[in-house]
Structure 1
Amino acid sequence: MSDGAQPYVHQSEGAEVDEVKERLRRSIRDTRNARSQRRREECAAAFAQVVEQEPVVAAARCVSVYASRPSEPGTAALLERLAARGVRVLLPVLGSGLQRDWAEYRGPDDLRERAPGRPPEPGGPTLGTAAIAEADVIVAPALAVDTDGTRLGQGGGWYDRALVEARSDVPVVVLVYPEELYDASTRPLPREAHDRRVDAVATTKEWRWLR
């Protein structure tokens, strides 16, 4: 069962895409913040199960994931399961502005929040922007995605820029709650020219290829 309704903002005549995106972000964040800690932990386990069982992930030797913040679809269980299987896991490291870097996941005790509101990051050495090219699968954060692969991110454009370094044949999958998957034929998400489409989505219920 879905945890909430699906908020949607119709783009009225004259409305800026950025404005529509931001209104959607606020609605989705409000719904996410309303989830209890117990429900978030249950969902994190479900996300890990769905992602790890997908054949493309099961065959991967290196996977890029993100360390989730409290309101995001949880990745702690997924990180631990991948690491236990011997998969090399890369996590994003945020520099000043939109500077991009990556570092290896070395367990939950190595993660640290370097500034309020930033996602947890590894404490080990960074590997450079090109390290993402070693990933066989990329699990990226999102607030929502539609069935055409349009991703609604947090608004900073970090992943759109970081994914330029990824191999072209590597699938990018986003984690969202079931109600955050939109039908592009009836409720397309707003998209701009620089927005990169993603290849798949994993919810607490299923993995779904989008293109």
Structure 2
Amino acid sequence: MHGDRKGSHARQPYPIVAGMEAADAKEELRRAIRAHRAERSPRLRDAAARALADVLATVPAVREAQVVATYVSRPTEPGTHVLLQQLSDRGARVLLPVLGAGLARDWAEYAGPDDLLERAPGRPPEPGGPALGVDAITQADVVVAPALAVDDRGVRLGQGGGWYDRSLKMRRPGVPVVALVFPEELYDSATHPLPAEDHDVSVHAVVTPEGWQELPA
């Protein structure tokens, strides 16, 4: 892993038993990881958000990108608010998921923290600019994607809606996908492989507050 510190795998949730179907195993993992995330204090979340932004600034694909597709984090997720402002400050266009027409997921451009508002109940904050179309991800030079966990094969565990897997398949060929997780959410596939299904899209790199590493996506 690039960085000065090694990842910590203390209390790594892995409630998977032999013979469990992949879909069931994913749901068990999601429940366990979400519960574990909820235990992290606001102070530690804020520190992690700052560290994640600093680490991402050292990832060549992110540092050199003119257009970055990413997301607005929910309170317990690896924080992206520092990242969004850093990207904007250096002149990158930042594309964020929004709720478009007919409740379809879409993309819109980041226009600063004051423009991010909860525009639908239960949704993360979204920019107020016009929806750019679901294919706006084709403009991105890199995608910084949310994840609940990643393993060293590049397998990503998402939230379960499937939207990111569908969107990631629309990106331009060769555009890398970088996943953000906390240190204990990076799994060793030799002992704790993440369940995977045919529709899952692998990631090319994983970033934690402690560093980043390339993956064999």
Does the CA-based 8 Å contact 1:100-1:162 persist in structure 2?
no
Identify the residue that residue 26 of structure 1 maps to in structure 2. 31
CA distance in 1, matches of 2:22, 2:63: 38
What SS does the aligned partner of 1:122 have? Answer: coil
1:194 paired to 2:199: yes
Deviation at 1:115, TM superposition (A): 2.7
Does the CA-based 8 Å contact 1:46-1:204 persist in structure 2?
yes
CA distance in 1, matches of 2:141, 2:175: 6
Unaligned 5+ runs, structure 2: 1-6
With normalisation by structure 1, the TM-score equals 0.94
Correspondence for 1:148 among 146, 153, 161: 153
What SS does the aligned partner of 2:12 have? Answer: coil
1:60 alignment partner AA: A
Relative to 1, partners in 2 of residues 1:3 and 1:192: Cα closer, same or farther, differing over 3 Å?
closer
Unaligned 5+ runs, structure 1: none
CA distance in 1, matches of 2:35, 2:121: 19
State the Cα RMSD in Å.
1.6
CA distance in 2, matches of 1:112, 1:9: 36
Of 109-118 and 20-29, deviating more is 109-118
1:101 paired to 2:106: yes
* Greater length-normalized contact order (CA 8 Å, ≥ 6 residues apart): 2
Which digits, 9 at most, give the CA deviation of each residue in 1:72-129, with x for residues without a partner?
0000000010100011100011347883311000011111112333121111101011
What SS does the aligned partner of 2:150 have? Answer: strand
Correspondence for 2:15 among 9, 14, 38: 9
What SS does the aligned partner of 1:154 have? Answer: coil
Size of the aligned set, in residue pairs, is 210
2:199 alignment partner AA: H
After superposition, residues 120-139 of structure 1 pair within 5 angstroms as 120-139=125-144
1:168 paired to 2:179: no
After superposition, residues 100-119 of structure 1 pair within 5 angstroms as 100-119=105-124
With normalisation by structure 2, the TM-score equals 0.92
Does the CA-based 8 Å contact 1:4-1:31 persist in structure 2?
no
Deviation at 1:33, TM superposition (A): 0.7
1:59 paired to 2:64: yes
What SS does the aligned partner of 1:202 have? Answer: strand
Does the CA-based 8 Å contact 1:98-1:158 persist in structure 2?
no
CA distance in 1, matches of 2:136, 2:95: 8
Q: What percentage of residue pairs aligned between the two structures are identical?
A: 60
Identify the residue that residue 81 of structure 1 maps to in structure 2. 86
CA distance in 1, matches of 2:107, 2:54: 25
CA distance in 2, matches of 1:27, 1:117: 21
CA distance in 2, matches of 1:190, 1:207: 22
